[in-house]
A = this chain, B = another copy of it.
């Protein structure tokens, strides 16, 4: 019950971290679907069953990696948003977009784990939902700040009654003061952004452009304009 950690506790925390780090390394190398508990144990120089002292099994390991990855990307986007806090909303958006793209290219397998085909036989538990919403939440928050400052152009967007209802409900959930149209366009921007990154990473744009980065640059600006950010 003391705050002093015993040697055992310290060792435990350390090895827990080492397992995660090794799993992360292997994820980066072979991808999620080829990630194996046995291989992690092997690399750590430990018998496979030993890992069970720390994780309930392979699924628990993957869940931990998903959470970690969502948080890593979330931190990246937060940093981009914070660093550009004094810039115009349009510039903030493109800064965040760049951050997402750069992270994705630096961590393709982590990105695939989050935004690619769901791992077969694995059902994401509730624990991963909250970190998974960090990026869209932050994007929305930045747009909401811009809106509050009068920096989002009004722009007529045709929406069905059903959509308006869905979007209004969502606004209540995220607790933001935003016109339904702006929320809608921001969601479009969010999906557009990740659609682009996914296409790039999964080779759908293969050979389309010699310089993907340049096109992405203009694309993220175009998205900011579409949303109406000034």
Contact = CB atoms under 8 A, between A and B. Distances in A.
Interface string A151-165: 000000111101100
Interface of A: 30-34, 112, 115-118, 120-121, 124, 129, 132, 157-160, 162-163, 166-167, 169-170, 184-185, 187-188, 191-196, 198-199, 202-204, 206-211, 214-215, 217-219, 221-223, 225-226
A135 B190 CA distance: 23
A211 B167 CA distance: 10
B202 A166 contact: no
- In the complex, the count of this chain's copies comes to 2
A30 to B, nearest CB: 7
A76 to B, nearest CB: 17
A121 to B, nearest CB: 8
30 contacts: A30-B120, A32-B117, A34-B120, A112-B117, A115-B198, A116-B116, A116-B117, A117-B117, A117-B202, A124-B203, A158-B218, A158-B222, A159-B218, A160-B214, A162-B214, A166-B211, A166-B214, A167-B209, A167-B215, A170-B208, A184-B218, A187-B215, A188-B219, A191-B199, A194-B199, A194-B204, A195-B195, A195-B196, A195-B198, A198-B198
